[in-house]
Every structure is written in structure tokens, then in C-alpha cells.
Amino acid sequence: MIALCHRFASLDRSDRQLVLEVLALMALVSAGLRLVRFPTLRRALERYVRLRTIAPARSRAAAIDRVRWAITVVAARLPGATCLVQALTGDAILRRMGLPCELRIGVRVSGRRSAAIEAHAWVDCNGLVAIGAIEDLSDFRVLAAPRSA
């Protein structure tokens, strides 16, 4: 725990701020998925995106890499940080930075045993997977994830 605190303290100010933002938002999204309906949570996240747009201090690719890094770091230490929690968090933060992103939720039928269905959520930025990359997303059939009203 002390080593973790030292590593956090050694980060530059913008990375510390990003990690704290990701931690807070992931905790809220995780709780929100349990407490409210999905469209209600999406509307709340949309309000968060519009609350205050923050410009990325780096290039678009570097900003995506830093957000991906922060989500990976926090998800490794936060129970319940599913792919959906990570994707909703990443989508909100990246869009808040002014980056065009789309939340994708997909399903595929597993070839194992009976016709088990697997689901996965990820964030697509201009055709590239920004958050939630796994080996073969091409097997997933994308479901419509409605934008909040």
C-alpha cells in the first residue's frame, strides 16, 4: 500500500488528476449500474460530459493512451470494474476532452458447450479501439447503445 502511494505521488500533476477522476467516475458508474436504469445512467454521464469540457494537454493519440492507462490502473484495483464500467468511464472522459468516441456493446455466441452468449463493451474512436481492446472483437455483433436524450 505504501509503494502504491509512492507511485501515485511520483506521477505528474495531470496524471494524478486523471487517475483520481477515473477512480471517482468508475466508482460512480459501478454504483449507478446497480442502482438506476441504464438510460438514466447514460443521461447522467452525458451531463457530466457537458459539465466542463477539458482540453487534452497532449495530442489526441497521447490523450487516448493516458486515459487507457489510467483506466487500466484503476480497474486493476477497483472491484467490480467490468468492461462496461471501464467503457462507460472511458467514453465519458474522452468525450469530455472533445474526442469523438462511440460506446460499443457487443455479443457473440461462444463455441464452448451450449450456445453461451458472451458480451463485451468497448470504446471506438475513429475506428480504433480506445478502451476495451481484446483479441478478436470482430466476432462480436454490435448492439445498439442508445445515446442519452
Q: What is the mean pLDDT of each run of 10 residues along the chain (149 residues)?
A: 72 86 96 96 94 72 92 93 96 92 89 75 90 86 66
Instruction: Give the pLDDT score at 6.
Output: 66
Secondary structure class of 142 (helix, strand, coil) = strand
Instruction: Give the pLDDT score at 3.
Output: 75
> Domain boundaries in the chain?
2-143
DSSP 143: E
Cα angle for residues 7, 9, 12 (degrees, 5° grid): 100
Instruction: Give the pLDDT score at 149.
Output: 46
For the whole model, what pTM was predicted? 0.86
- Per DSSP, the residues of 85-138 read HHHHHHHHHHHHTT---EEEEEEEE-SSTTT-EEEEEEEEETTEEEE---S-GG
CA distance 59 to 28: 28
- The three cell numbers of residue 118 are 458472451
